[in-house]
Amino acid sequence: MGLAMIIHNVEQRSLDWHTLRLGLPTASDFAKIITSTGEPSKSASGYALTLAAELFAGKPLDSWEGNVWTERGRELEEAAISLYKFMNDADVTSVGFVTDDAGAMGCSPDGFVGNDGLIEIKSLKAENHVKTILYYQRHGKCPPDYIQQTQGQMMICERKWCDVVFYHPDLPLLAIRQNHDTVFQVGLSHLIPPLLKERDTILKAIRDYNSGNEPKGKVSVPTDPKKSAPLF
């Protein structure tokens, strides 16, 4: 599996973006492959089922479109990036979708920062934003919830660090730098091939089942339920 990146210039959440992501393991779901401590996730087989189903259907299935809070986060993203750029005198470049050169996995970071960094915006409810500030004060690091996504993004995009920026318009901005973790990324990269193999095995099984069970001709549906034959 190659790790050189390919940048796809598409608008995030557009039809082209969804098409590129179809059936691919992506950084936002890497927690389904690996835990924050680097162990294989028990959710991997379920994730393989979902990816196979998407490839068979040719479209995202049962995908979570978000809620009022995720929509709010998207609306606040531009403001968060502007504030981050001002406070850090940083050059942030937007990006659509990035894959490794084998097209085996992808990610959609919120931006490239200079030549070495990434930015990932998190706009949380006030309660969770404050919890994150307190966690950082106590532990001096980012909460573990974001490790898989950010390490995966750095691996795919060949970046040395990622600033996870927690933004709430009425509360202090918090930016926590996650540095490249070679051990974690190697562990993650080793879990991708077996996931893809399982996905492809499941996809073949679905296709085999479908090809052997397609209806032969039209099925007549009685309009009068009284005239239909009993099922049992």
pLDDT of residue 152: 98
Supply angle C-alpha 223, 229, 231, rounded to 5: 110
The pTM assigned to this predicted structure is 0.86
Structure tokens at 118: 């990434």
Supply angle C-alpha 95, 180, 73, rounded to 5: 45
CATH class as words, domain 5-208 = alpha beta
- Chain segment 13-68, per-residue pLDDT in tens: 899 999 999 999 999 999 999 999 999 999 999 999 999 999 999 998 876 555 55
Kindly indicate the confidence band of residue 149, based on its pLDDT and cuts at 50, 70 and 90. very high
**Domain extents in the chain:** 5-208
- Chain segment 95-133, per-residue pLDDT in tens: 999 999 999 999 999 999 999 999 999 999 999 999 999
Q: Looking at the predicted structure, is the pLDDT value of residue 185 above 50? A: yes
| Spatial distance between the Cα atoms of 51 and 57, rounded to a whole number of angstroms | 10
User: Sheet holding 97-100: strands in order across?
Assistant: 5-8, 97-100, 106-107
pLDDT of residue 65: 57
Partners of 174 in the beta sheet?
166
Structure tokens at 99: 């894959």
